[in-house]
Copies of this chain bind each other. A is one copy, B any other.
Amino acid sequence: MEGKIFFTHHDIRDGEKRALARLHTHGADDDMVELLMLLNSHDNYYTTSSCSGRIVLLSIPCIGAKRAAEFVGKWHFEVDKAEILAAIAEWRARHRSGYLWLMAQSPVLHVSYADIDCARTLLTLAITAGFKYSGIKSITGERVMVKILSTERMDVPIGREGVMFCGEQYLEFILTIANSLLVRGKTKLLS
């Protein structure tokens, strides 16, 4: 993603500078570029972390310990069984402790505003457009952070300590659903 689109702001504060620098450095997945260009072309708000939706294999040491989780695989597009099986094989070889989860995650954007009325308008628009898990995450003295999140989601534990608890037929079944959720979320984002 080109950095220039993030630097059209007239009055960039320190926090904003850091957020935009992070985006410039790390880029964004391709399905988000157009939307991020639009959002970041405005003067009184900017985006921070965002994702157009993805399918992930996550290794979690114990129930609820998401902070200590490690990605085993991460795809921003539809994925086939062979790719999943290859990633699982790697997990079995290298990460034999903890739980393995297959997840489908919906699009998410964080938008920072200087103005609560604008933030409220975006929140209402987002919920009306089907991003029903959206909300204002924080209101500090100077900024309002809106999280825009849709509902497409699947969180499936599939293995523990190197042992798979489901067969290939079941894996195919949930992978079809994960891909459908991914496409549905991206379609909502881009429509």
Which A positions have Cβ atoms within 8 angstroms of B? 63-64, 66, 99, 116, 120, 123-124, 127, 133-139, 147, 151-157, 160, 165-167, 169-170, 173-174, 177, 180-181, 184
A173 contacts B154, CB within 8 Å? no
Q: Provide the residues of chain B in CB contact with A174, threshold 8 Å.
A: 156-157, 165
* Known pairs A64-B151, A147-B135, A155-B153; A170 contacts B177 (CB<8 A): no
Do A137 and B135 touch (CB < 8 A)? yes
Which of B134, B138, B173 has a CB less than 8 Å from the CB of A157?
Answer: B173
Q: Which residues of B contact A137 (CB under 8 A)?
A: 123, 127, 135
A interface secondary structure, majority: mixed
Contacts of A170 in B (CB 8 A): 165-166, 170
Tell me, rounded to whole Å, the shortest Cβ–Cβ distance linking A130 to chain B: 9
A138 CA to B165 CA, complexed, in Å: 42
Complex CA gap A18/B136 in Å reads 25
Chain B residues positioned under 8 Å from A153 (CB to CB): 155
A69 to B23, CA, bound (A): 39
- Once A147-B135, A167-B167 are accepted as A-B contacts, the answer to whether A64 and B173 lie under 8 Å apart by CB is no
In the complex, which residues of chain B have a beta carbon less than 8 angstroms from the beta carbon of A151?
64, 66
Contact B139 A120 (CB under 8 A): yes
